[in-house]
Amino acid sequence: MTKTTSKSGGRWAKSAEFYARALELMPGGVSSPVRSFKSVGLSPVFIKSGQGAYLTDVDANHYIDYVMSYGPLICGHAHPAVRAAVSKQIGRGSTFGCCSPLEVELAQIITTAFGSMEMIRFVNSGTEAAMSAIRLARGVTGRKAIIKMAGGYHGHMDAMLVSAGSGATTHGVPSSPGVLPRVAESTIVVPFNDLPAIEAALASQAGDVAAIIVEPIMGNIGVVLPRQDYLRTLRDLCHAAGALLIFDEVMTGFRVGYSGAQSLYGVMPDITCLGKIIGGGLPVGAYGGSAAIMNHVSPAGPIYQAGTLSGNPLAMAAGLATLRLLDPQEPYGQLELLGRRLADGLAAAAAAQGIPVTVARSGSMLTLFFTGSAPASATVGAAHTSAGAKSIISNYADALMCDTRDYARFFSAMLEQGIMLPPSQFEAWFISAAHTPDDIDMTIEKAGAAFVHCREAHL
């Protein structure tokens, strides 16, 4: 039985009451598995409101937030410009089932920012974006096989729930019941950062691989960065094999840089999946590519995809307001400084207590890996390692070797001190433009005390 979050009387009493009711009404008491706090041995906290970098729960506890709705709130909770845009639009109507000028305006901003996307189609979630991108790749190439990376999460569609990350990793269900073998058999899984494995997979399925789909920076097993030239070589291998390259930038798009990871690494995919930030915190997704590819999508072409709420005016308004707050320089310069400050501080605080960790980071997204059990591995990208850490995480197998018990201890100690982290070792933390240097320094200070708790647990 999952223990209650509360360790100090009735501090989380109302959350416990809501959870008890939710258990009777929803599977596991939640609308998405990672929210259950199951992997950290607690019951979930129920949030009442968010403002800037902070959350307040139903028991009036306050937190510095590093979940940020798993990425979309790059400008913080309830930004005035986003609130005003949504409020203005709701007064005009929430959905029409007809075309809206907002779709055109948002599409223009996105295609200008992403050079690989001449045309896009809006959908309602990252799952829909990836599902539609895969159907498009199969329809354009006339092939069926898809290569994905072990631990890569591209939504909960059947074909991608094979060695999947995110909640599927946290809850130990990398291949979900209900996925038919004949569906899964067309998905080929290889390790991230392993080019020989890609070459072998392409050779074994010669002429039948429609696409390689990859998070250019993995985020659903925690942040894992690509090795030098890995993405560029994927691009070359796809071209040589007649397959398409799909970048799932649902998490990284407009997050690691204005034009996403593809601009950061200088590699243009054939199809890009977006979500999160382009809806400003409202449900949204999109996929896009060249006009030659996208004109295969109905009604321009024969590949069908539709959705009554696709391009929903509220999501478009929130997305427009958010993207208009961003440009190629800011807040990315500020976020880089804050991200480096937090990563360096966490690594130093862990080293002071002899706790082996690696902090993997790209801009404002990072993961604190408890690497005491992880194997030796090659260094990839920007990472910060505490004294005694054995590795830098480069793939799914490395991530699974991390000490999830220490992460659970750390999470609990941070929650007690008013720091909200993702309730899983296998998720990314997110910093927003609303976070301040003081927030970062306070987080590092609290982390020092949490690492003491971890060290004492080993004595």
Which pair of structure tokens corresponds to residue 84? 């005003």
Helix (H) or strand (E) holding 49: strand 47-51
With CA atoms as reference, report the closest residue to 211 among 242, 190, 167, 253. Answer: 242
Is there a contact between 259 and 116 (Cβ–Cβ < 8 Å)? no
Our answer to whether residue 65 is catalytic in this structure is: no
Residue 204: how many other CB atoms lie within 10 Å: 11
**How many angstroms separate the Cα of 284 from the Cα of each of 122, 307, 309, 410?**
7, 11, 9, 33
Is there a contact between 247 and 238 (Cβ–Cβ < 8 Å)? no
DSSP-derived letter for residue 45 is: P
**Location of structure tokens 């961003």:** 326
Which residue in the list 276, 287, 396, 403 is annotated as catalytic? 276
In a 3-state reduction of DSSP, which class is residue 52? strand
CA dihedral 380, 248, 262, 229 (to 10 degrees): 40
In this structure, the strands spanning 145-149 and 187-190 are parallel
Q: Cβ neighbours of residue 147 under 8 Å, at least 6 residues apart?
A: 187, 188, 189, 190, 198, 201, 202, 209, 211, 212, 213, 243
Which residue in the list 19, 54, 153, 258 is annotated as catalytic? 153
Is there a contact between 374 and 407 (Cβ–Cβ < 8 Å)? no
Which pair of structure tokens corresponds to residue 417? 């001190």
Q: Cβ neighbours of residue 211 under 8 Å, at least 6 residues apart?
A: 133, 134, 137, 138, 141, 146, 147, 238, 243, 244, 245, 246, 270, 271
Query: DSSP for 396-435?
Result: HHHHHTS-HHHHHHHHHHHHHTTEE--SSTTS-EE--TT-
Residue 408 to residue 268: CA distance in whole angstroms:
38
Vertex 366: Cα angle to 361 and 372 (nearest 5): 90
Our answer to whether residue 38 is catalytic in this structure is: no
Q: How many CA atoms lie within 13 A of 391 on its CB side?
A: 21
Which residue in the list 57, 59, 248, 398 is annotated as catalytic? 248
**Amino acid identity for residue 420 in this structure:** M
Residue 316 to residue 319: CA distance in whole angstroms:
5
Our answer to whether residue 153 is catalytic in this structure is: yes
Q: Return the active site residues.
A: 153, 248, 276
